[in-house]
Amino acid sequence: MTTTEPLLRARGLVKHFAVRTGWLGRGQSVVRAVDGVDFDVQAGRTFALVGESGCGKSTVARLVTRLIEPTAGSVELGKDNLLTADAAHLRRLRGRIQLVFQDPYGSLNPRMSAGDMLAEPLRLHQVVPAAQRESRVAELLAQVGLRAEMATRFPHEFSGGQRQRLAIARALAAEPRIIVLDEPVSALDVSIQAQILNLLADLQKRLGLGYVFISHDLAVVRHIATEVGVMYLGRMVEVGPARQVLGAPRHPYSRALLAAVPQPVPGLDLKDRERRQLGGDVPSPLAPPPGCTVHTRCPHADEQCRTQVPQLQDAGDGVRVACWHWARLEQQASVESVITVHPALSRLQRAFREGASSAAPASLQATPSAPNPASHHPS
Amino acid sequence: MRDATPAPLLEVDGLRVGFATHAGLARAVDGVSFSVSRGETLCVVGESGCGKSVTALSIMGLVARPPARIDGQIRFEGQDLLTLNARSLADLRGNRLAMIFQEPMTSLNPAFTVGAQLSEVLIRHRGLSREAAREAVIGMLERVRIPAPAQRFDEYPHRMSGGMRQRIMIAMSLLCEPALLIADEPTTALDVTIQAQVLGLMRQLRSEFGTAIVLITHDLGVVAEMADRVVVMYAGQVVEQAPVKALFAMPQHPYTVGLMGAIPSLSGGEDRLSAIEGLVPAATDMPEGCRFASRCPFSEARCRTQVPALQEVEPGHWSRCWRAPLQALAAQIDTVAAS
């Protein structure tokens, strides 16, 4: 982690949902969707939350943008506390943290044109004088690789990838320092997904944005994240630099998660993978297991794991792990050794990359009103 | 593999499926041919709208005619499925020919117990009594590793997780030991650890029953893990076909090259992904010439005017590209870059 002041600091985030259970909903119990999560987001860096359905990662996205009120915890944006801010202050702070959702079909108002959609945050947050709104809308469209004349179009006239570009442009309109991206590429085809990931990387480099990136796709996260937190049943089980957490995972759950990802390499020995595989399903968050929540599926679990809850502890290289036994587990071979690419194939793929970047709109190079990221650049 | 068995189990020959739309005839599938041998796993890869699911549904006889117009032949165990009447098709489906879908949440009927739905297959196709069917179903649930199968038999689908429902769908599809199983994105809706369980199960059952599988997916990792041979589809056509190792070693169609470069790797690496710019052409408005030409960094004049044929570039490796074999193209790029 860098020593610069983080853009966002989340501490002790907790969200419990009350649910009705039993016959005619007469019983009541609590789902601990998020149960004590801490993390920082630095300028120009990407903190990714990974985990399976129901682990609480999307709830975290809604908590740090205060779309839902947390049960406990704090979210600081620089010197401001987002969770105690009154309505007027909250509205100002929301200009600094924006959200992009998974479903580009459901997250855009079908009755608003692209231009109106982008002008609205400009007006609300008084980003530019009224006279300049139109030209700023054109700039925003260009920034995400859409043409200026598309401002008159409505959402149904865009493809899925274009809609996601539009959602990103709308998030950028308020000139935020942080964008929370909740599964932003999961609904897209791979070729379109690659376009959006490249766009996000370009924007981050140019504007010095901090990203909170929520995803279940570990390869995508490995590509875009600088820091990663692995969540399971509302808690972080491992957190640290992406290269460490995804390259040399320490927690048995992180290892199993990585081992489960099918590799695009035919003829791999799948025996080894099946050995590391997790059995069973994620337990119900209504009745999380006592002790370490992973113990019902973990091959290394013993009596201590079944009774005592492990806390995140320092595990070297900037990684923190919540596991009683991580230090005793054998080192896991990293996936890096497996993949070799035919030289002719990598030359051809380079042509796709270069063709793609030369085809990018020239306007990508210049964004006059972008904040200067130089002072916040990661070391 | 094709030489070993003279008559393939399934032969799709010149399949065309068109739907009338306001914008004209949309050819979702446009001249697709491939074959599957007994016990073989064929993966069909492609992005949304490439026609892979419509191909699968056509094989199962699940595309209603009209409105769809279907031409070509689908030969399965010697019969043309497209000319069979509804009754004979119903005799085959769930029996010799089975299918599992992407949505395990919606492919089971919520109003019947799991056991009743599974038993029905054996009662209909094998004429078993309710008691005998119950026994067989519980045995099959055990084989797909459903815990406490006798108890689960009498429960309703909403009591089960997504992974469990997909295992139940697999159990249902295998009850009659089909010769061919069509799996349309069977793990896409599942979490990665559950996906690993389901894929492992499919591999195990394939070796136990010798079932041939047509696996439709967009995930190249799943392809590498499961396939013997691969068919790559783009805009309603087969653009490449090859044994899995040959395909991953050196793809022979630029679309496949782009697709492979577009997936981020778990080992990190490249800063930028090789995105395929642009969009798939609309099914109602296909371009002249090669359908991938407008997105292809290697396209030249003839690509935009003349339709390339699917040609055998290497033994067993077919590509629909004017510029194949691509090794030669890669060498050309280098000399251009050097000059």
Tell me the C-alpha distance between A167 and A107, whole Å. 8
Out of B258, B264, B265, the one facing A191 most closely (by C-beta) is B258
- Taking contacts as CB-CB distances below 8 angstroms, the residues of chain A near B251 are 345
The number of distinct structural domains making up chain A is 2
DSSP string spanning B177-237? --SEEEEESTTTTS-HHHHHHHHHHHHHHHHHH--EEEEEES-HHHHHHH-SEEEEEETTE
Q: Are residues A217 and A240 in the same domain?
A: no
- The answer to whether A32 and A231 are in contact (CB under 8 A) is no
- The answer to whether B306 and B289 are in contact (CB under 8 A) is yes
Could you give phi then psi for residue A318, rounded to 5 degrees?
A: 80, 10
Q: Please give the residue of chain B at the shortest CA–CA distance from A247.
A: B267
Over residues A186-207, mean pLDDT: 88
- Distance from the Cα of B90 to chain A's closest Cα (Å) equals 34
B37-51, B243-257, B319-333: which range is least confident on average?
B319-333
Closest CA to B47 of B289, B275, B246: B275
Structure tokens at B304: 């935009």
CA B178, B181, B187, B193: dihedral to nearest 10 degrees? Answer: 50
**Residue A282 vs residues A55, A209, A287, B146: alpha-carbon distances, Å:** 9, 34, 11, 15
Whether A273 is in a domain gets the answer yes
Q: Are residues A115 and A36 in the same domain?
A: yes
Q: Are residues A304 and A326 in the same domain?
A: yes
Q: Are residues A14 and A80 in the same domain?
A: yes
Whether A2 is in a domain gets the answer no
Q: Please give the residue of chain A at the shortest CA–CA distance from B224.
A: A266
Whether A152 is in a domain gets the answer yes
Whether A348 is in a domain gets the answer no
Task: Name residues 183-242 of chain B within 8 A of A (Cβ).
Answer: 191-197, 199-200, 203, 218-225, 227
Q: Which of A58, A191, A275, A339 to mutate to test the interface with B (most CBs of B within 10 A)?
A: A191
pLDDT in tens, A62-99: 999 999 999 999 999 988 998 888 998 998 898 899 99
Whether A281 is in a domain gets the answer yes
Over residues A235-255, mean pLDDT: 92
Quote the strand ranges of B77-174, DSSP E. Answer: 79-80, 97-100
Confidence of residue B11 (pLDDT cuts 50, 70, 90): very high
Whether A70 is in a domain gets the answer yes
Whether A260 is in a domain gets the answer yes
Confidence of residue A209 (pLDDT cuts 50, 70, 90): very high
Q: Are residues A141 and A179 in the same domain?
A: yes
Confidence of residue A158 (pLDDT cuts 50, 70, 90): confident
The SS3 of residue A275 is helix
User: Does the N-terminal peptide bond of residue B66 adopt cis geometry, omega within 30 degrees of 0?
Assistant: yes
- Taking contacts as CB-CB distances below 8 angstroms, the residues of chain B near A268 are 224-225
What DSSP element (H or E) covers B248?
helix B244-249
More confident residue, A241 or B281: A241
The neighbouring-strand residues paired with B180 are B97, B212
pLDDT in tens, A219-230: 899 999 999 999
Q: Are residues A278 and A363 in the same domain?
A: no
Which pLDDT score is estimated for A228? 96
The SS3 of residue A116 is helix
Q: Please give the residue of chain B at the shortest CA–CA distance from A220.
A: B264
pLDDT in tens, B64-73: 888 888 999 9
Cβ of B267 within 8 Å of Cβ of A338? The answer is yes
What DSSP element (H or E) covers A236?
strand A235-241
- Distance from the Cα of B199 to chain A's closest Cα (Å) equals 10
Q: Which of B233, B267, B271, B292 to mutate to test the interface with A (most CBs of A within 10 A)?
A: B267
Q: Are residues A156 and A261 in the same domain?
A: no
Tell me the C-alpha distance between B329 and A332, whole Å. 39
Q: Are residues A214 and A88 in the same domain?
A: yes
Tell me the C-alpha distance between B117 and A280, whole Å. 24
Q: Are residues A120 and A24 in the same domain?
A: yes
pLDDT in tens, B192-208: 887 888 888 888 888 88
Out of B163, B259, B272, the one facing A191 most closely (by C-beta) is B259
The neighbouring-strand residues paired with B241 are B231, B318
Q: Which residue has the tokens 């599938």?
A: B29
Whether A345 is in a domain gets the answer no
Q: Are residues A75 and A94 in the same domain?
A: yes
Name residues whose C-beta falls within 8 Å of residue A367's C-beta, 6 or more positions apart in sequence: A139, A143, A206, A207
Cβ of A262 within 8 Å of Cβ of B195? The answer is yes
Q: Are residues A304 and A327 in the same domain?
A: yes
Q: Are residues A172 and A244 in the same domain?
A: no
ipTM: 0.79
Cβ of A348 within 8 Å of Cβ of B263? The answer is no
Tell me the C-alpha distance between B122 and A48, whole Å. 48
Tell me the C-alpha distance between B146 and B140, whole Å. 9
Q: Which of B164, B266, B313, B326 to mutate to test the interface with A (most CBs of A within 10 A)?
A: B266
Residue A337 has pLDDT above 60, yes or no: no
CATH of the domain at A151: 3.40.50.300
Q: Which domain holds residue A301?
A: 235-337
Out of B193, B197, B250, the one facing A52 most closely (by C-beta) is B193
Structure tokens at B201: 């199960």
- The answer to whether A82 and A93 are in contact (CB under 8 A) is yes
Q: Could you give the domains of chain B?
A: 10-96+176-338 (3.40.50.300), 107-175 (no CATH)
Out of B218, B267, B297, the one facing A351 most closely (by C-beta) is B297
